[in-house]
Amino acid sequence: MYRAPVTELRFVLESLLDAGQLARLPQYADFSLDTAEAVLTEAGRFGAEVLAPLNQSGDREGAIWSAEGVQVPTGFREAYAKYVQGGWPQLGIDAAHGGQGLPQVLVSAVEEIWCGSNVALMLCPLLSRGAIEALLMVGSPELQQAYLPKMLSGEWAGTMNLTEPQAGSDLAAIRMRAAPAGDHYLLAGQKIFISYGDHDMTENIVHLALARIEGAPAGVKGLSLFLVPKYLPDADGAPGARNDVRCVSIEHKLGIRASPTCVLAYGDAGGAVGYLVGEANRGLEYMFIMMNAARLAMGFQGVGLAEQALQRASAWARNRVQGRPVPAAAAGGASSGGAASGAQPTIIQHADVRRMLLTMRASVEAMRALALYAALQFDLARALPGSGPQRAALLRGELLIPIVKGWCTETAFELVSQGLQVHGGMGYIEDTGIAQTLRDARITTIYEGTTAIQANDLLGRKLARDGGETMRTLLDEVEAELRDYRNDTGHAELPVIVAAVREGVSGLRAATNALLPQLASAPATAYAVSVPYLRLCGYVLGGWLMARAAHIAAARLGAAAGGDQDFMRAKLQSARCYAAQVLPQALALSRAVRTGGASIAEADTDLI
């Protein structure tokens, strides 16, 4: 039943973010909004016709392990083959490497569609893309020549291997060993929680794994990155001898059951052949190329799953007959959108169901806007003229990545839970599908770094590295934009929306100013409220973009041509709901950040 939100995505790209500006830059001279529309439309068709029909069946069947290898659910191999045949792996790859060279903001929009269609299947190409980017940036010409062509085409998949049984988020504890052996290394050890670490959708799998060369320094400074193929290419470049890396088990999971999460054993038969990527002892630095790409993608997973839940809940509420709604007026006046005379009322007319659906819709729109705004920064960082503007865009994009990953996934799980609540008791039944969405969404807040890890990155790396200057510059621009909207009388609700967002921005600025000195003088106190700070950033920056959407919608409603009146009215309705129902959370979070850290940092753990 999933339908790609192409109209919503087009509004964000064309109107909210003015992604068409990229066409004026030489890097994206071949890009156009017409191209974006065509790509989104076709991606939506692929998602609805190929991916979505396998979502529930894949969950029921799950991935299957055997000593010979992992088998994906029925239909997944054929769907992936269609993905490859359609040229989708090359979407965002530079033309110099045989790709289509489309901007990240469009690629991310497509990823939202596909994650909303079937997140378990699409994890495979999402992780492959991160491995490809790492090889493009730091791989030697020999490795690029041997592996990239078939990875770029999608014929071979890629993975990222970090976690070990004793080393979850603490990568300094990694024990996998790498011993020099001529032009390569022999790796031995174990990796766990490796998404698509083994499967039968591609003829080869290229693992990028962190390991420690014998004699390397202790901690993360002694980690190096290695390319370890499942099959060693022969003289013709085809998969040859099996390498000494095997999947010894897969996890039995709460959600994304169709996606194999593997335990990989390296070197049980003498050592897995691996090739050093880049320079020795810089592995974590290189791995962050993949991790940043994955974290942005995880944010879009959250958006896609929340959109899927919204569609399920909305359809259910429009068809489910249950009870009689409270009238909008005390005298019994009909509520807006009420049932026709004599018709059985459906639950969408109940006040609390409206509250849940409107909150879901408004939040999804804010999440989508902020995530795509972040993706656009990386396009600008590549394409703007001059090193100064490029660096400013890069710093802003990097600042936003942990916010997008953390806030979008945490909010997504809350929204999917609301969507289940709309279904009532039937939501708890697997047949309706919303229970699977809830299970699938839960992992998004955990993998590629838990929300606390994202929040620590936001404070310790992104906020502290320039004394908060990147955040302050962003807030200055937001406030200047909101001042321009303040006196806009195009719609009665617009000043109210803008006032609510300005209050949120003020709270975020105050929280930022309180945290910065704490990072130096009382870091435990600052980190105790890092997650509330991350959530505060998401709510406020999402509110800013909702105010922008309301401003655009009000202007178009007042114009002679008008455009799609119902669509613009819906935009104003969403922004009004966000300002009144969602954004007030920012006020509580600001207070918690400014005054609540000590209550956590100074607590006696024996009493918890």
Q: Which CATH architecture has domain 6-136?
A: Orthogonal Bundle (1.10)
- Three-state SS string over 67-105 comes to CCEEECCCCHHHHHHHHHHCCHHHCCCCHHHCCCCCCHH
Q: Does the pLDDT of residue 326 top 90, yes or no? A: no
What is the structure's pLDDT at 335? 46
**Rounded (to 5) percent helix, strand, coil in the chain:** 65, 10, 25
Whole-prediction pTM: 0.95
pLDDT band for 337, please (50, 70, 90 cuts): very low
For residue 102, give Cα distances in angstroms to 11, 89, 171, 290: 18, 11, 34, 19
In the block, residue with structure tokens 């996606």: 259
What is the structure's pLDDT at 290? 86
Q: Verify whether residue 448 is a known catalytic residue.
A: yes
Q: CA 446, 451, 452, 456: dihedral to nearest 10 degrees?
A: 120
Written as one letter, the residue type at 201 is M
What is the structure's pLDDT at 168? 83
pLDDT in tens, 527-558: 999 999 999 999 999 999 999 999 999 999 87
What is the structure's pLDDT at 331? 43
Percent of the chain with pLDDT over 70: 96
User: Domain spans of the chain?
Assistant: 6-136, 156-282, 466-601
The CATH number corresponding to 156-282 among 3.40.50.1370, 2.40.30.210, 2.40.110.20, 1.20.58.190 equals 2.40.110.20
pLDDT in tens, 287-304: 988 888 899 999 999 999
What is the structure's pLDDT at 343? 66
Strand, helix or coil at 310? helix
pLDDT in tens, 367-390: 999 999 999 999 999 999 999 999
Written as one letter, the residue type at 85 is Q
Q: Which helix (H) or strand (E) holds 280?
A: none
Which listed residue (307, 365, 398, 448) is catalytic?
448
Percent of the chain with pLDDT over 90: 89
pLDDT band for 491, please (50, 70, 90 cuts): confident
